[in-house]
């Protein structure tokens, strides 16, 4: 029996539309965010990354992986993002409950030391759950610029849950739309009452990789080219391994103060 490919083709067409919409509508916001990130990294600071649920995915897309570089600091709480169990210990119900516990964000932030040049990127498709608002408000209170990456359509369609009455886009210096629709799923199938095929991952990946490319270009323009994790397929095994070690050493230096140690004082000390 041959399957009708129409639902798969429908998804791919709609995914292409999301990337096209990011390109046509979000470049100015991405450039503004890239300027903040480049300023942070050039000054020896860190761009902290936070998200709950499946918004962990763009955090891991930024760093560490091939084509990525130090200066970004993932903050990932397993209690809010560890989904493979689904039920039982560390189950999805617990994670979804915890991301709505107001005050948890401040507790998370108390675990880190933030520097004077640091900034924050917060990912949340809905942009209304209490923990991400906590973290955004705390980051702003500590003087850090906040970049929000959300689905604007989904965020505006969602009722604020935080006692402040704010959505994430209300807490941000820069808001970037991942261009996924309200509800996330893209494809409607005949006789199936609910849409399938989530889309926010597509938009997230397009946004964060476009952002990384701009940040790398700006740092290079400033005479501070980043150490980029690079595949052995491109530069050979020995060079790739050597660059891997240098990149991770650089990252270790940058994050030392976050965990109570010493952070480099200027990029020149690398």
With respect to residue 245, please indicate whether it lies within any of the assigned structural domains: no
With respect to residue 266, please indicate whether it lies within any of the assigned structural domains: no
> pLDDT digit string (tens) for 170-183?
999 999 999 999 99
Q: Report the predicted TM-score, pTM, of the whole model to 2 decimal places.
A: 0.93
Omega before 64 cis (within 30°)?
A: yes
Which run of H or E residues covers position 48?
strand 47-51
With respect to residue 216, please indicate whether it lies within any of the assigned structural domains: yes
pLDDT bin (cut points 50, 70, 90) of residue 270 is very low
Which residue bears the tokens 């798969």? 8
Q: Between 2 and 223, name the one with better pLDDT.
A: 223
Q: What is the pLDDT of residue 262?
A: 56
Which run of H or E residues covers position 80?
helix 78-81
For 85, half-sphere exposure in the C-beta direction (CA atoms, 13 angstrom radius) is 14
Q: Which domain holds residue 185?
A: 6-226
With respect to residue 270, please indicate whether it lies within any of the assigned structural domains: no
CATH of the domain at 203: 3.40.50.10490
For 179-201, what is the mean pLDDT? 96
> pLDDT digit string (tens) for 26-75?
999 999 999 999 999 999 999 999 999 999 999 999 999 999 999 999 99
Q: Residue 3 CB: number of other CB atoms within 10 A?
A: 7
Total domains in the fold of the chain: 1
With respect to residue 1, please indicate whether it lies within any of the assigned structural domains: no
The answer to whether 43 touches 118, Cβ cutoff 8 Å, is no
With respect to residue 263, please indicate whether it lies within any of the assigned structural domains: no
pLDDT bin (cut points 50, 70, 90) of residue 269 is very low
pLDDT at 265 over 70: no
With respect to residue 236, please indicate whether it lies within any of the assigned structural domains: no
């Amino acid at each position: 029996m041959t399957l009708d490919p129409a639902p798969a083709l429908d998804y791919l067409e709609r995914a292409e539309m999301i990337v096209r919409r990011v390109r046509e509508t979000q470049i100015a916001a991405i450039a503004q965010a890239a300027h903040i990130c480049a300023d942070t990294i050039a000054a020896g600071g860190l761009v902290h990354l936070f998200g709950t649920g499946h918004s962990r995915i763009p955090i891991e897309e930024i760093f560490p992986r091939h084509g990525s570089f130090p200066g970004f600091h993932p903050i990932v709480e397993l209690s809010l993002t560890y989904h493979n169990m689904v039920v039982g210990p560390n189950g999805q119900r617990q994670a979804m409950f915890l991301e709505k516990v107001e005050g948890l964000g401040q507790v998370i932030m108390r675990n880190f030391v933030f520097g004077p040049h640091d900034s924050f990127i917060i990912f949340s498709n809905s942009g209304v759950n209490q923990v991400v608002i906590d973290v955004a408000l705390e980051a702003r209170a500590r003087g850090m610029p906040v970049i929000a990456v959300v689905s604007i359509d989904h965020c505006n369609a969602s009722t604020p849950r935080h006692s402040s009455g704010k959505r994430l886009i209300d807490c941000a210096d820069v808001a970037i739309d991942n261009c996924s629709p309200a509800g996330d799923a893209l494809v409607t199938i005949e006789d199936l009452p609910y849409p399938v095929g989530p889309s926010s991952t597509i938009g997230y990946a397009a946004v964060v990789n476009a952002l990384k490319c701009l940040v790398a270009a700006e740092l290079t323009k400033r005479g501070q080219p980043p150490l980029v994790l690079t595949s052995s397929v491109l530069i050979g095994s020995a060079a790739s391994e050597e660059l891997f070690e240098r990149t991770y050493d650089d990252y270790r230096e940058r994050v030392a103060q976050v965990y109570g140690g010493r952070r480099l004082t200027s990029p020149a000390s690398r």
